[in-house]
Structure 1
Amino acid sequence: MEFLKQYLDIFVFGLLGLMSFVMVWFVIERYLFFARISLADYDHPDTLNIALTAHLTTIASIGANAPYIGLLGTVLGILITFYDLGQGGNIEPATIMLGLALALKATAMGLVVAIPAILFYNALLRKVDVITERWKRLQRS
């Protein structure tokens, strides 16, 4: 239990930090790709779709799973708080509230990672639709 108590925050916040770094990296890569795309290079809609949607699944997965990573950190933090209370017998409300408040920070951080990821994913998906329609219009002319 001491190992978990000592490294829980490092693990949860490290994983969420890695997820946010990957998300930001892929978002920037996608926007740069969309800015430089040459629609004339694509002769089939499937080839265009594969190129446009690269990395979008990763961004969506980060947005969908970051809250769960945060929730896992919260649940384990609450478990540690109750374990410490059981071991020490100290049932002061201030001690319990401090432990619970510290545990909830993991959920908050998970949401801080997830919300922008979902917003960027939706914006990029809209951009894919717009570029695909531009390509279709180019093919008709």
Structure 2
Amino acid sequence: MELLKEYLDLTIFGILGIMGFITLWVAIERVLFYRSIKLSDYNHGAVLNIELTRNLTVLSIVGSNAPFVGLLGTVVGVLITFYDMGQNQAIDTGSIMTGLALALKATAAGIAIAIPAIMIYNSLMRKVDVINSLFRAETQR
């Protein structure tokens, strides 16, 4: 249990940090791609759509799973707090409340990663819809 207690925050916040970095990387890459796209380079709308939606699934995955990673950290943190309570015969409410409060920070971090990821995903999907509409309008001329 001591090993779990020692590495819980590092593991959970490490995973969430990687998820945040991936979100930022995909967002920057997609924005740069959308700015440089030339509709005349594409002959078919399906090929264009495949290029436009590349890597967007990653944003959806991060947005939907980051809260669960945070929740896992919270559940394990609460488990550790209850385990420590069971090991000590004297129950100190201050340490219990501190342990529970510290456990909740993982959920907060997961939500803090998920909200921007979903916002970025939705805005990029809107941009995909606009570019696809422009392509259809251009090919109908």
What TM-score range do you get, normalising by the shorter chain? over 0.9
Per-residue CA deviations over 1:80-134 (Å, capped at 9, x if unaligned) read 0000110112312111100000000000000000000000000000000000000
Tell me what 2:82 maps to. 82
Tell me what 1:122 maps to. 122
Tell me what 1:63 maps to. 63
Tell me what 2:36 maps to. 36
Three-state SS of the structure 1 residue aligned to 2:90 is: coil
The answer as to 2:135 corresponding to 1:135 is yes
Separation of aligned partners in 2, 1:49 and 1:119: 20
Tell me what 1:21 maps to. 21
Separation of aligned partners in 2, 1:2 and 1:37: 53
Separation of aligned partners in 1, 2:42 and 2:71: 43
2:94 corresponds to which letter in structure 1? A
1:45 corresponds to which letter in structure 2? G
Three-state SS of the structure 1 residue aligned to 2:61 is: helix
Separation of aligned partners in 2, 1:42 and 1:89: 71
Identity in percent: 55
TM-score between both structures, scaled by the size of structure 1: 0.99
Tell me what 1:50 maps to. 50
Separation of aligned partners in 2, 1:120 and 1:53: 13
Per-residue CA deviations over 1:38-80 (Å, capped at 9, x if unaligned) read 0001111110010000010000100000000000000000000
Separation of aligned partners in 2, 1:93 and 1:39: 64
TM-score between both structures, scaled by the size of structure 2: 0.99
1:83 corresponds to which letter in structure 2? Y
Tell me what 1:72 maps to. 72
Paired residues in the alignment total 141
Segments of 5+ residues of structure 1 without an aligned counterpart are: none
Separation of aligned partners in 1, 2:28 and 2:111: 20
What do you get for the CA RMSD once the two structures are aligned? 0.6
Tell me what 1:101 maps to. 101
1:113 corresponds to which letter in structure 2? I
Which aligned segments of 4 or more residues in structure 1 are displaced greater than 2 angstroms?
none
Three-state SS of the structure 2 residue aligned to 1:90 is: coil
Segments of 5+ residues of structure 2 without an aligned counterpart are: none
